[in-house]
């Protein structure tokens, strides 16, 4: 079937045409493709037909359909419909293309043929009526002439009313942006060609112009930002190139002039003008001027204070200048935290470190100081400033319990990292702050500080934490861990059942299955089952140290003997009963008074210290073999049976002694002369001991060798087993010679 596309209609009889038009209307889903030049397909899905068409150069077209009607007669409604579709498409295309391009092609064609004089003449005579068009022509060709006046061009095309007030609206804004975009395109080309005077010539006009518009017509600020960004980028690129001093000066003047305006705004994502020109600002005087300008902005431009501040900080560092204005100095210190974050966002890491060296983060409140330190740590890492990084990481660890920072510290300086843990350990008692506990436990585990880890876990008395952090302890502290688990399981079992308890127990059992603790815990529990502890109301023991666990009482007494001898007095055996259990100062007071030695408070202090050094020297060689008979077995059995154990000694040296005896980890709580203000027979130490064990005094038995200690325990409400002479310790419920004479089980029977 052959026809001419232009006047299809004339080729076909009206009924065939009508029928084809009907089909076109029905054809909603189709593809018109052009597999080759002059070769087209219409593929319609619904209704289903497929027509191939060949378009010849003379405009004639042949169509071929696959339907039976076409095969029969060489013509069908599908073929005609496909031709109509093809015709409509080409008409539409032609229309669109011409509408969009017509003006431009025409303009380019005409302009290409003109020289500058002709251009001007053309503009003046033919383009009078259309200012935007005229401006566009000028913008395109202005740079070709010798002294292009861009200011004039821009002013000329700015819509103003008769009073000189800018009258921008949506429509004319488009032409303004268009002209500026043309100029910038030209500036870009000129920059590429290294035509620097010409480039700055354009920017000197467009940058102030765009800023002026943004200030005067703030509602269009957002739209103008695109051109402004482009201008600033061009300016930045321009400033990176080497150039004559005259041009550098022009760049400085431009940036100072524009930045100094009221209402000047920096544009996000661009380098601010002054910073771009910074490389040219070399003269002292000019630097001072620029610095002063920024200083003033910090003081007055409240909205952009942080941005100005960040530039000021930069210049303070690179130019080694200081703000003169006191108010500005005060402001900088106030906004330092925000400045740190801004500089970080600008990736100005050297400035971040500089500002942190000026304003100590610890002077700000914790929530502000933390991000400052974090920024510092990051900046130090990125600039390779290890010492500063470590200082920041240390501060973040100790003051903000920042585990990530601690990890950094640990990797570069493990010793300081452990030191930080010790400080946190000393500063935050267990349960004081959850964060502190977690910080410590994970740090202690990571650094392998097993003893401290065990101590903390013990103090926390929390089985979940125990399960979380026991991994590193299993091999070295199996027994201690097993005892802790036993204690937890025992406590859970004695609670009223319930789903939560059952789940908790199941979790512990599952956890233990994985490691060697399992058998120990199982044994412990079996022992406990057999034991009477559950039937008795005694659940804890508190041990005095000197005279109960180790025989240091004699060293105490000998030390007193020796200093009193120096004071010219020989003390008697009977004095032992008075100094035993009493605090150091109390013992000294007693002896001085008894033997009539008078001295000042200062002297007393120094004699007490002397006694202590003699004492310490005499116990220097103590080892686990010095434990009094039966002590270790008693402690072990008591632990296995589920009793809670504490130390209650008046001695300030108690912990050191326990360390030498290697039994410091066997106690749930340790109370010594450092934890009390009143010494035995005051009950303070035992009251505190019961509190630490979380037991009422009536469930606690105290072991004491001194009459003062026995009295203290009774007054605290505890049961007392005396160790020593029944006469001296008459108030004790029972007396024995030492712990070897009794078993924990027996005690529960006595005090059942
Ligand atoms: P320190 P304890 C007591 O210990 C001693 O029995 C007593 O003789 C001594 O004066 C007191 O500690 C103070 O000791 O000088 O080392 O602080 O029996 O209560 O364990
Ligand atoms: Mg004692």
Whole-angstrom distance between the N-terminal and C-terminal Cα of the chain?
119
Shared-domain flag, residues 132 and 196: yes
Shared-domain flag, residues 275 and 176: yes
The confidence score (pLDDT) of residue 350 equals 95
pLDDT of 493 higher than 90: no
The confidence score (pLDDT) of residue 495 equals 67
Catalytic-residue membership of 301: no
**Taken in order 214, 220, 221, 227, is the CA torsion positive or negative?**
negative
Atom of ligand 1 nearest to the CA of 557: 8
Atom of ligand 1 nearest to the CA of 650: 19
251-265 mean pLDDT: 93
Shared-domain flag, residues 671 and 573: no
Choice among 222-236, 467-481, 484-498, 656-670 with the minimum mean pLDDT? 484-498
446-456 mean pLDDT: 92
- Specify if 369 maps to a domain: no
Atom of ligand 1 nearest to the CA of 705: 18
Shared-domain flag, residues 125 and 82: no
pLDDT of 206 higher than 50: yes
Return the HEC string of 563-612.
HHHHCCCCCCHHHHHHHCCCCHHHHHHHHHHHCCCCCCHHHHHHHHHHHH
Shared-domain flag, residues 86 and 224: no
Ligand 1 proximity of 547 Cβ (cutoff 6 Å): yes
Choice among 173-177, 315-319, 622-626 with the minimum mean pLDDT? 173-177
Ligand 1 proximity of 681 Cβ (cutoff 6 Å): no
Q: How confident is the model at residue 141 (pLDDT cuts 50, 70, 90)?
A: low
The confidence score (pLDDT) of residue 74 equals 87
Shared-domain flag, residues 217 and 144: yes
703-711 mean pLDDT: 95
Q: State what percent of residues in the chain have pLDDT above 70.
A: 91
Q: Which of 28, 36, 72 is nearest to 52 (CA)?
A: 36
- Specify if 471 maps to a domain: no
Backbone conformation region of residue 59, classed left if phi is above 0, alpha if psi is from -120 to 50, else beta? left
581-598 mean pLDDT: 94
pLDDT of 99 higher than 70: no
Q: How far is the CA of 680 from the centre of ligand 2 (A)?
A: 10
Q: How confident is the model at residue 58 (pLDDT cuts 50, 70, 90)?
A: confident
Q: How far is the CA of 620 from the centre of ligand 2 (A)?
A: 19
- Specify if 399 maps to a domain: no
The confidence score (pLDDT) of residue 112 equals 64
The confidence score (pLDDT) of residue 700 equals 95
Q: How confident is the model at residue 494 (pLDDT cuts 50, 70, 90)?
A: low
pLDDT of 457 higher than 90: yes
Give the alpha-carbon dihedral of 124, 126, 128, 132, to 10 degrees: -100
380-421 confidence digits (pLDDT tens):
999 999 899 999 999 999 889 999 999 999 998 999 999 999
Ligand 1 proximity of 546 Cβ (cutoff 6 Å): yes
Domain C-terminal end among 70, 104, 138: 104
Taking CA atoms only, the protein residue closest to ligand 1 atom 14 is: 651
Residue numbers of the domain that contains 746: 541-548+623-750
CA distance 694 to 689: 9
The confidence score (pLDDT) of residue 57 equals 82
The confidence score (pLDDT) of residue 532 equals 45
CA distance 619 to 658: 12
The confidence score (pLDDT) of residue 687 equals 96
337-343 mean pLDDT: 95
Ligand number nearest to the C-alpha of 722: 2
CA distance 105 to 120: 20
Ligand 1 proximity of 707 Cβ (cutoff 6 Å): no
Ligand 1 proximity of 517 Cβ (cutoff 6 Å): no
Shared-domain flag, residues 599 and 628: no
CATH code at 745?
Answer: 3.40.50.1000
Q: How far is the CA of 671 from the centre of ligand 1 (A)?
A: 12
CATH code at 564?
Answer: 1.10.150.240
Ligand 1 proximity of 612 Cβ (cutoff 6 Å): yes
- Specify if 427 maps to a domain: no
Q: Are 647 and 654 in contact (CB under 8 A)?
A: yes
537-577 confidence digits (pLDDT tens):
889 999 999 999 999 989 999 999 999 999 999 999 999 98
The 10 Å Cβ neighbour count of residue 375 is 25
The confidence score (pLDDT) of residue 230 equals 94
Atom of ligand 1 nearest to the CA of 685: 19
Ligand 1 proximity of 650 Cβ (cutoff 6 Å): yes
Please count the structural domains in the chain.
4
Q: How confident is the model at residue 128 (pLDDT cuts 50, 70, 90)?
A: very low
Domain C-terminal end among 282, 307, 326: 282
Backbone conformation region of residue 642, classed left if phi is above 0, alpha if psi is from -120 to 50, else beta? left
133-151 mean pLDDT: 69
Mean pLDDT (the chain) is 88
How far is CA 540 from its chain centroid? 45
Return the HEC string of 52-110.
EEEECCCCEEEEEECCHHHHHHCCCHHHHHHHHHHHHHHHHHHHHHHHHHHHHHHHHHH
- Specify if 670 maps to a domain: yes
- Specify if 719 maps to a domain: yes
Shared-domain flag, residues 122 and 242: yes
Q: How far is the CA of 5 from the centre of ligand 2 (A)?
A: 120
364-376 mean pLDDT: 92
Shared-domain flag, residues 249 and 122: yes
The confidence score (pLDDT) of residue 95 equals 63
The confidence score (pLDDT) of residue 752 equals 66
Ligand 2 ion: residues within 5 Å (CB): 544, 546-547, 705-706
Ligand 1 proximity of 611 Cβ (cutoff 6 Å): no
Q: Considering the candidates 351, 470, 531, 546, report the single residue annotated as catalytic.
A: 546
Q: How confident is the model at residue 747 (pLDDT cuts 50, 70, 90)?
A: confident
Shared-domain flag, residues 161 and 123: yes
- Specify if 176 maps to a domain: yes
Give the H/E segment covering residue 43: strand 39-46
Ligand 1 proximity of 550 Cβ (cutoff 6 Å): no
Q: How confident is the model at residue 675 (pLDDT cuts 50, 70, 90)?
A: very high
Ligand number nearest to the C-alpha of 675: 1
Shared-domain flag, residues 217 and 78: no
Q: How confident is the model at residue 104 (pLDDT cuts 50, 70, 90)?
A: low
Shared-domain flag, residues 610 and 627: no
pLDDT of 233 higher than 90: yes
Q: Considering the candidates 351, 402, 544, 682, report the single residue annotated as catalytic.
A: 544
pLDDT of 509 higher than 80: yes
Q: How far is the CA of 672 from the centre of ligand 1 (A)?
A: 9
* Residue 11 vs residue 251, higher pLDDT: 251
* Residue 10 vs residue 111, higher pLDDT: 10
Q: How confident is the model at residue 518 (pLDDT cuts 50, 70, 90)?
A: confident
Q: How confident is the model at residue 525 (pLDDT cuts 50, 70, 90)?
A: confident
Which range is most confident: 134-148, 281-295, 730-744? 281-295
* Its pTM surpasses 0.85: no
Catalytic-residue membership of 546: yes
Taking CA atoms only, the protein residue closest to ligand 1 atom 13 is: 651
Pocket test for ligand 1, best of 544, 546, 618, 707 (most atoms within 8 A of CB): 546
pLDDT of 36 higher than 90: no
Domain C-terminal end among 267, 282, 297: 282
* Residue 465 vs residue 533, higher pLDDT: 465
pLDDT of 166 higher than 50: yes
Ligand number nearest to the C-alpha of 704: 2
pLDDT of 110 higher than 80: no
Q: How far is the CA of 647 from the centre of ligand 2 (A)?
A: 11
488-517 mean pLDDT: 78
- Specify if 718 maps to a domain: yes
The confidence score (pLDDT) of residue 29 equals 79
pLDDT of 467 higher than 80: yes
Choice among 26-35, 249-258, 633-642, 713-722 with the minimum mean pLDDT? 26-35
Copy the structure tokens of residue 171: 């429509």
12-26 mean pLDDT: 86
Q: How far is the CA of 76 from the centre of ligand 2 (A)?
A: 121
CA distance 136 to 153: 10
The confidence score (pLDDT) of residue 573 equals 92
352-367 confidence digits (pLDDT tens):
999 999 999 989 988 8
- Which DSSP category does 628 fall into? P
The confidence score (pLDDT) of residue 97 equals 59
Ligand 1 proximity of 702 Cβ (cutoff 6 Å): no
Ligand 1 proximity of 486 Cβ (cutoff 6 Å): no
Q: How far is the CA of 697 from the centre of ligand 2 (A)?
A: 20
């Amino acid at each position: 079937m052959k026809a001419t596309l232009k006047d299809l209609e004339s080729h076909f009889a009206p009924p065939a045409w009508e029928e084809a038009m009907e089909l076109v209307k029905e054809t909603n889903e189709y593809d018109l493709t052009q597999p080759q030049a002059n070769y087209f397909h219409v593929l319609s899905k619904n209704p289903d037909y497929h027509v191939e068409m060949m378009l010849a150069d003379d405009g004639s077209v042949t169509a071929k359909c696959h339907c039976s009607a076409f095969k029969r007669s060489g013509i069908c409604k599908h073929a005609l419909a496909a031709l109509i579709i093809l015709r409509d498409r080409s008409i539409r295309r032609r229309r669109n293309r011409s509408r969009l391009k017509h003006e431009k092609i025409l303009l380019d064609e005409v302009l290409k043929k003109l020289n500058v004089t002709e251009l001007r003449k053309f503009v003046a005579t033919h383009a009078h009526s259309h200012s935007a068009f005229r401006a566009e022509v000028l913008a395109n060709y202005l740079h070709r002439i010798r002294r292009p006046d861009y200011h004039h061009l821009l002013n000329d095309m700015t819509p103003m009313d008769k009073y000189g007030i800018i009258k921008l609206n949506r429509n004319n804004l488009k032409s303004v942006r268009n002209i500026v975009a043309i100029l910038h395109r030209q500036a870009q080309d000129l920059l590429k060609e290294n035509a620097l005077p010409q480039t700055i010539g354009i920017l000197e006009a467009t940058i102030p112009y765009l800023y002026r518009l943004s200030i005067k017509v703030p509602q269009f600020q957002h739209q103008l930002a695109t051109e402004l960004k482009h201008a600033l980028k061009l300016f930045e690129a321009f400033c990176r190139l080497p150039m004559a001093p005259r041009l550098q000066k022009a760049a400085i003047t431009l940036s100072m002039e524009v930045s100094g305006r009221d209402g000047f705004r920096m544009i996000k994502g661009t380098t601010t003008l002054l910073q771009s020109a910074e490389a040219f600002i070399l003269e002292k005087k000019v630097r001072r001027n620029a610095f002063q300008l920024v200083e003033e902005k910090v003081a007055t431009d409240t909205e952009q204070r942080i941005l100005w501040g960040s530039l000021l900080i930069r210049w303070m560092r690179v130019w080694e200048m200081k703000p003169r204005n006191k108010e500005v100095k005060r402001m900088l210190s106030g906004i330092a935290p925000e400045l740190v974050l801004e500089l970080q966002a600008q990736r100005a890491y050297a400035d971040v470190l500089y500002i942190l060296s000026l304003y100590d983060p610890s002077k700000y409140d914790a929530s502000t100081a933390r991000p400052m330190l974090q920024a510092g740590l990051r900046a130090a890492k990125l600039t390779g400033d290890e010492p500063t990084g470590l200082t920041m990481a240390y501060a973040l660890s100790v003051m903000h319990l920042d585990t990530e920072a601690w990890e950094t510290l640990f990797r570069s300086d493990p010793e300081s990292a452990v030191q930080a843990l010790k400080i946190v350990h000393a500063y935050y008692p267990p349960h004081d702050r959850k964060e502190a506990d977690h910080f410590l436990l994970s740090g202690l585990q990571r650094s392998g500080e097993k003893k401290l880890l065990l101590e903390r876990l013990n103090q926390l008395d929390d089985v979940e934490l125990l399960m979380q952090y026991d991994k590193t302890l299993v091999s070295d502290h199996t027994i201690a861990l097993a005892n802790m688990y036993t204690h937890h399981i025992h406590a859970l079992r004695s609670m009223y059942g319930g789903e939560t308890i059952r789940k908790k127990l199941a979790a512990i059992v599952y956890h233990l299955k994985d490691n060697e603790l399992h058998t120990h815990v199982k044994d412990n529990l079996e022992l406990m089952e057999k034991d009477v502890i559950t039937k008795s109301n005694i659940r804890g023991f508190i041990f005095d140290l000197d005279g109960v666990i180790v025989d240091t009482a004699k060293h105490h007494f000998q030390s007193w003997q020796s200093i009193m001898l120096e004071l010219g007095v020989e003390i008697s055996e009977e004095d032992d009963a008075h100094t035993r259990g009493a605090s150091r100062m109390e013992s000294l007071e007693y002896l001085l008074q008894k033997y009539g030695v008078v001295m000042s408070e200062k002297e007393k202090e120094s004699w007490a210290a002397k006694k202590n050094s003699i004492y310490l020297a005499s116990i220097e060689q103590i080892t686990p073999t010095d434990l009094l008979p039966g002590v270790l077995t008693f402690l072990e059995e008591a632990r296995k049976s589920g009793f809670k154990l504490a130390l209650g000694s008046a001695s300030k040296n108690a912990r050191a002694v326990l360390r030498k005896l290697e039994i410091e980890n066997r106690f749930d709580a340790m109370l010594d002369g450092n934890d009390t203000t009143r010494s035995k027979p005051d009950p303070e130490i035992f009251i505190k001991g019961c509190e630490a064990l979380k037991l009422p005094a009536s469930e606690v038995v105290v072991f004491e060798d001194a009459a003062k200690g026995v009295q203290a325990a009774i007054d605290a409400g505890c049961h007392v087993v005396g160790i020593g002479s029944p006469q001296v310790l008459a108030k004790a419920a029972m007396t024995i010679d030492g712990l070897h004479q009794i078993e924990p089980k027996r005690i529960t029977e006595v005090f059942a």
